[in-house]
Amino acid sequence: MKISKMIYLFFIPGLLLYSIFFIYPTISALFYSFTDWDGLSDAYQFVGTGNYERALTGDTIFRKTVGNNLKFMLVVVILQTIVALAFALIVLKNTKTNLFLRALYFFPTILSSVSVAFIWSFIYDPSLGILNQILELLGLDVLRQNWLGNADIAIYSLAITQVWFHAGQMLIIFVAGLQAIPEDLYEVAKIEGASKWQTFRKVTWPLLAPSATIVIAYTTIQSFKAFDLVFAMTGGGPNNSTQIIATYIFDVAFRSYNFGYASSISVLFMIIIAAITFLQFKALRSDRISY
Amino acid sequence: MLFRKFSLIIYALLILIPLVMVALTSLKTLQETFRDPLGLPDDGFQWSNYSAIFQEQTMAGYFMNSSIVTLFSVVLTLFFASMIAFGITRMNNWIGNLLFGLFTLGMMVPAQVNMVPLYSLMLDLDLTNSLLGLILVNIAVTLPIAVFILTGFMKTLPRELFEASTIDGAGNWQIYMKIALPLSLPSLSATAIFLFVMHWNDLLYPLLFITDNAYKTLPLALLEFQGEYSTNYPMLFTGVILASAPMVIAYVFLQRFFVAGMTAGAVKG
């Protein structure tokens, strides 16, 4: 059936805003990444691949930043996926208690990152903080820490906060995925005398792969974007030990006024995210079994 | 089974204790907090932090700004995204698919990637320190995910509905308003909640574009309390409670929609 050409009008407002405030800045990030623009003056010079060479070979902070981001990502992805899946399996049935628990576990997701940052700054506070007090109560004084002030562990403290923040959301995705598995497959497994572990390995896990892919991919991207949390809790410190790529871009651009260099890091950031997402989808897809 | 119950309780406590701690601390004085960070207040609950924060801060203004930005961002994103989703569904050809691809590609680009050029663009357009500026950027940034979710839903609607209306002489606009939108209500409401949470809590764009107190939204104002009150946690937590209150109240009443909406963003994203 022929559709009136007027249909194109439906795209105009959205496409206009999307082009001006999204596509154009994204493309100009690529353009500025080859310049030494400071973001303020009208003049700038092309520096070829200078910014990229600096980022990849000369800049030790950038290298540290990527490392921090990977540490943060690994802890969050592994811990959050395990917690979310384990608890999803327990609160799977739609009983009253389980519905309540799911709603409770999900709750932190609706808070703002700044609120979560304040809450956890208080928990981690070396003198006032609940965490050190609990450790003391348990007689584990040796474990007392300056959780955000110690450069060796601060990034992991942030990762735990991120898990607290978002595990509930991933749990719900797993619940949705698990509830979609047909009940009769479990019946068959039971009749055939499969053990609990065998049932999980042969029935649940393969059919869960699509949700697992989503959770892991989403968590990965989320952990790269944890800008707000890091910015509000540590500002990247101490000594850049919690600086992640996103906060480093902000620092380079808005504290050192090096827009050109910040743009080149932005482009590298995008490439890293695209590569990781691609690899994950590939890895998890090949693992899938079809019924 | 005992172990399962035990784990469930531990996880519940891990969520509940920090929340109770926030509420409790907001009802204590600073001295009480330093003396006994986790105890109950000595002389009953103190509401003084709440009155102090309203005196010292332009809280009403921050609420107003957050409400305006969130409301317009959510409504306009839904409006523009549903029009695009309708266009893509209706065209059902390679141009539609291409446009769909163009929008969904945007979901892969983290907001921090283009914050630098976006900042200078906003300066050039004189859109810094402006709620309109925030709204425009919010719409552009959330269009991809909204288009993705809504298109996915509209494609499941029976095409015959649209075609029958065309034969009856309805124009595209009428079909969109009278058929596509009402039928997409479940998906629209899920997306609305996802956008509501995202825009209400957004920090990055206010941080980049707003320096004038008159235009600050709640998350940015809250962040700056940190500079002002330092480790005065009773005041900070009073701010946290006030800033989260609308979201928490909405969550308590619309819980099921929240869960659906917040996961639609992830599942289909």
Q: State whether B83 and A110 contact (CB < 8 Å).
A: no
pLDDT in the model for residue B268: 43
pLDDT in the model for residue B267: 53
CB A120 within 8 A of CB A162: no
- DSSP letter (8 states) at residue A143: G
pLDDT in the model for residue A290: 41
CA distance B69 to B267: 26
Three-state helix/strand/coil letters over A75-131: HHHHHHHHHHHHHHHHCCCCCHHHHHHHHHHHHHHHCCHHHHHHHHHHHHCCCCCHH
Q: Is residue B219 part of a domain?
A: yes
List, in sequence order, every residue forming a beta bridge with B40; answer none if it has no partner.
none
CA distance B133 to B206: 10
- What tokens were used for B216? 């600050």
Q: What are the extents of the domains in chain A?
A: 61-286
Total count of domains within chain B: 1
- What tokens were used for B259? 């869960």
CA distance A47 to A33: 9
Q: State whether A119 and B201 contact (CB < 8 Å).
A: no
pLDDT in the model for residue B142: 92
Q: How far off is chain A from B103, nearest CA to CA, in Å?
A: 8
Decide if B63 touches A, using CB distance below 8 A: no
The burial class, CB within 10 Å (0-12 / 13-18 / 19+), for B50 is middle
Q: What are φ and ψ of residue B207, in 5° steps?
A: -60, -40
CA A291 to chain CA centroid, nearest Å: 31
CA distance A2 to B42: 76
- DSSP letter (8 states) at residue A42: S
ipTM summary value: 0.89
Residue from B82, B112, B136, B196 to probe the interface with A (highest A Cβ count within 10 Å): B112
Range of the structural domain that residue B87 is part of: 60-267
Which among B216, B188, B202, B243 is positioned nearest to B75, based on CA atoms? B188
Name the CATH architecture for the domain at A61-286.
Answer: Orthogonal Bundle (1.10)
- What tokens were used for B24? 């409790």
Q: Which of B15, B200, B237 sits opposite A107 (nearest CB)?
A: B15
Q: Which of B137, B201, B236 sits opposite A21 (nearest CB)?
A: B137
Q: State whether B112 and A214 contact (CB < 8 Å).
A: no
- What is the full per-residue pLDDT of chain B (269 aa) written as tens digits? 788 899 999 999 999 999 999 998 888 888 888 777 777 877 778 888 888 888 888 888 999 999 999 999 999 999 999 999 999 998 888 988 999 999 988 887 888 888 888 998 999 999 999 999 999 999 999 999 899 989 988 988 888 888 888 777 778 888 899 889 999 998 898 899 889 999 999 999 999 999 999 999 999 999 988 888 887 888 899 999 999 999 999 999 888 888 777 776 655 43
pLDDT tens figures, A3-19: 677 888 899 999 999 99
Cβ partners under 8 Å of residue B211, min gap 6:
B128, B129
CATH number at residue B171: 1.10.3720.10
Q: What is the DSSP string of B13-54?
A: HHHHHHHHHHHHHHTS-HHHHHH-TTSPPTTS---HHHHHHH
Q: How far off is chain B from A274, nearest CA to CA, in Å?
A: 7
CB B49 within 8 A of CB B238: yes
Q: Is residue B124 part of a domain?
A: yes
Q: Is residue B134 part of a domain?
A: yes
Decide if B176 touches A, using CB distance below 8 A: yes
CB A103 within 8 A of CB B256: no
State the Cα angle at A113 between A108 and A116, rounded to 5°. 55
Q: State whether B119 and A253 contact (CB < 8 Å).
A: yes
Length of chain B: 269
Decide if B166 touches A, using CB distance below 8 A: yes
CA distance A243 to A253: 14
The residue ranges of chain A whose pLDDT is under 70 are 1-3, 283-291
pLDDT in the model for residue B79: 96
Q: Which of A14, A111, A228 sits opposite B84 (nearest CB)?
A: A14
Q: What separation in angstroms does the CA of A291 have from each of A185, A194, A201, A266, A273? A: 11, 18, 14, 42, 32
Q: State whether A112 and B80 contact (CB < 8 Å).
A: no
Q: State whether B110 and A224 contact (CB < 8 Å).
A: yes
- What tokens were used for B187? 């998906």
CA distance A122 to A9: 52
Least CA distance to A222: which residue of chain B?
B110
Q: Is residue B25 part of a domain?
A: no
- What tokens were used for B95? 């141009």
Least CA distance to A9: which residue of chain B?
B87
Q: Which stretch of DSSP H or E encloses residue B265?
A: helix B233-267
Which residues of chain A have a CB within 8 Å of the CB of B120?
39, 259
pLDDT tens figures, A184-207: 888 888 888 888 888 888 888 888
Which among B30, B18, B58 is positioned nearest to B212, based on CA atoms? B58
